[in-house]
Structure formats: C-alpha cells, structure tokens
Amino acid sequence: MISHKDFTFTIGYEGNIAVVDGTLKKRYGSLSTEQLAEKQLYKQAICSAVYEESSGKASGEVLQRVLEIHNRNAAEKIGSVEALKRTFGVHEVPEGIAKVTVI
C-alpha cells in the first residue's frame, strides 16, 4: 500500500505506479491535513484526509474541516464534501500501487 505522505503528494498514476511531487513532499510533508488546507494546498489536504479515513485514523470530520477552510478562502463555495472530492479528483486510496516514482 502507498504511504500517507506519498499519497498526499501524488500528482498522477501510470498503471500501478504513483508519481509523487518530491518538491512539495519535502517542503510540506510534515504538515497536518488542516495545515495543508490553511496553506491552500487543498488537493493535498483532501488526499491526506481521505488516506486518514481509509486507514481508520480519522472520521469524515477532517474532510468537513477542509471544506470549511476552502469555503472561507474561496470566491466560489463548494456545497458538500462529496463535491469537494469531485472538484479536486480525489475519491479513494487506490489499491495495487506497486511502485512510487518521485520527481
């Protein structure tokens, strides 16, 4: 399974290989989900929250908090957590990731 940090900073997939943004991971990898959202790194914050939920470390409240932070800062509000996930293209932690490539 892909690690929390690698999933948080994944920018795409090529088959069963996750492509990770090494610069972002190095710079922001120590931040919490909420801190990522406060820095307006919403996709990364959503990825982090989805990973935490899938591993049982957090409940839906984390994604709700990311949505609140987004809506506080955004010109256009998003109405629900599902719409937030759809907007940023993050739905679940993929199964079967065999390798991680950091670029």
Per domain, the residue ranges of the chain are 4-102
pLDDT tens, residue by residue, 16-35: 999 999 999 999 999 999 99
pLDDT tens, residue by residue, 24-69: 999 999 999 999 999 999 999 999 999 999 988 877 799 999 999 9
pLDDT value of residue 34: 97
pLDDT value of residue 32: 97
* CA distance linking residue 15 with residue 32, whole number of Å: 28
Q: Give DSSP secondary structure letters for 45-85.
A: HHHHHHHHHHTTS--THHHHHHHHHHHHH-SS----HHHHH
For helices 81-88 and 61-73, the axis angle rounded to 10 degrees is: 70
**Mean pLDDT value across residues 72-78:** 96
At 36, is the secondary structure helix, strand, or coil? helix
